[in-house]
Amino acid sequence: MESLDDVLLMSEDKMDKSVEFLHQEFHGLRTGKASPSLVENITVDYYGTATRLKELAGISTPEPRLIVINPYDPSALPAIEKSILAANVGITPMNDGRVIRIPIPELSEERRKELLKVAKRMAEDQRVAIRNVRREANDQIKALQKDSTISEDERDSGLEEIQRLTDEHIKAIDDMLAAKETDVIEV
């Protein structure tokens, strides 16, 4: 059976992964600024293989409201353009035969509110995931104490440590959400 330290390390690792996952999700959430992360994970049908865009092309943002996609293989331009349109991220690519330019339009007030709701839902999903990790860890710690593997004092300190980790990770999520809200609201 595992030890108290194993339970704590596993729980902290799972909580870290939830925070990191939210970080990645927020990168893909469109704000008014151009960001390569808006398009880099779009899958393109490249010679019958689903390939991520960042593996097929160089993606840059030469201006705050412009994304430029420079494919390594110019014959992939039509497939890339089609995939961006199909991804339905609210942007329209312009193909000039060599590169694809994507102007990023201003967000309307309605779209900003919609994005805030999406961001809040993403954050809440990860808070729930962290609470589920806490619940599992608490159950494992209580089981260790019940099996006489650890003492009551160790159980209590383990439960306190799990709560501290939970609070710390939920605060990190709240901070990320606040930063994303500021980013979305900024004109």
* Average pLDDT across the chain, whole number: 87
Beta carbons of 140 and 159 less than 8 angstroms apart: no
| In the chain, % of residues over pLDDT 70 | 97
Q: Is the pLDDT of residue 17 over 80?
A: yes
**CA gap 36, 31 in Å, rounded:** 12
**R_g (Cα) of the chain, nearest Å:** 22
pTM (two decimals): 0.69
What digits encode the pLDDT tens for the residues 41-57?
888 888 888 888 888 88
Task: Tell me the average pLDDT across 158-175.
Answer: 94
pLDDT of residue 1: 45
Task: Tell me the average pLDDT across 74-79.
Answer: 88
Q: Is the pLDDT of residue 148 over 90?
A: no
Kindly report, as residue ranges, where domains of CATH 3.30.1360.40 are found in the chain.
36-103
Domain 36-103 coded CATH 3.40.50.1010: no
Q: Can you say whether the dihedral through the CA atoms of 102, 104, 108, 112 is positive or negative?
A: positive
pLDDT of residue 178: 93
Kindly report, as residue ranges, where domains of CATH 1.10.132.20 are found in the chain.
4-27+108-185
Q: Is the pLDDT of residue 93 over 90?
A: no
Q: Is the pLDDT of residue 103 over 90?
A: no
CATH class (in words) of the domain with range 4-27+108-185:
mainly alpha
pLDDT of residue 27: 77
